[in-house]
Amino acid sequence: GAGVSQSPSNKVTEKGKDVELRCDPISGHTALYWYRQSLGQGLEFLIYFQGNSAPDKSGLPSDRFSAERTGGSVSTLTIQRTQQEDSAVYLCASSPGQGPLTQYFGPGTRLLVL
Amino acid sequence: AQSVSQHNHHVILSEAASLELGCNYSYGGTVNLFWYVQYPGQHLQLLLKYFSGDPLVKGIKGFEAEFIKSKFSFNLRKPSVQWSDTAEYFCAVRSTDSWGKLQFGAGTQVVVTP
């Protein structure tokens, strides 16, 4: 597609359940990023993938959060044993590579943990 | 610690008024600077960016920003706003030794009244 796509657009889950959020980057973009946008915390970096390099996981808030990127394209962000404080909008972005390149953002997945 | 500060959380102004949003950062090295905008119900879009060269950069929709290195600032301006400029504006900084991480400010909600 023309832009970054994310699914689902909205997700409601119960505390303690696992969730998976999906991101399809712009075709040909080798770099992929996850951010979280929540009230009181603003926009926070979570994780960054660049090609076949080891991902930069330094922004993941706890070991309940993990992400993978299969085949250098689609990425899945998994949150295990969700907590209410995980409620946020999870944003994915991609760029053509690393270096001084612009990140293009998707519409986000709004997660609500009850 | 590295940080990005946006001075105003909410701004309300009338159409045709001038807009200036402040952004200061605390990074010791070379940085890339961005302003993103999020219109109601839409995803983050790039307004403008500074990587190097002329510190006065022009973006879409009549916006411009000036990088003042000595002040660690990257303020956004528009001489005459329109109702359609109602949105949330985010300043973001990326250090050149960490390409993957955009550090965002808290955002400024701008409301333009007709």
Contact criterion met (CB < 8 Å) for B44 and A59: no
Tens of pLDDT, residue by residue over B2-46, are: 789 998 899 999 999 999 999 999 987 888 999 999 999 898 999
Contact criterion met (CB < 8 Å) for A105 and B90: no
Closest residue by Cα to residue B33 from B102, B97, B89: B102
Bigger pLDDT: B50 vs A39: B50
What is the distance in angstroms between the Cα of A7 and the nearest Cα belonging to chain B? 14
> What integer pLDDT is reported at residue B29 of this predicted model?
82
Contacts of B42 in chain A (CB under 8 A): 107
pLDDT band at A8 (very low <50, low <70, confident <90, very high): very high
Of B42, B49, B90, the CB nearest to A102: B49
Contacts of A104 in chain B (CB under 8 A): 46
What is the distance in angstroms between the Cα of A13 and the nearest Cα belonging to chain B? 22
A112 is written with which tokens?
Answer: 């609500």
**DSSP code string of B44-86:** -EEEEEE-SS-SEEE-GGG-EEEEEGGGTEEEEEESS--GGG-
Of B46, B92, B101, the CB nearest to A48: B101
Evaluate if residue B1 carries a pLDDT over 70.
no
Tens of pLDDT, residue by residue over A35-93, are: 999 987 789 999 999 888 889 999 999 999 999 998 878 999 999 999 999 999 999 99
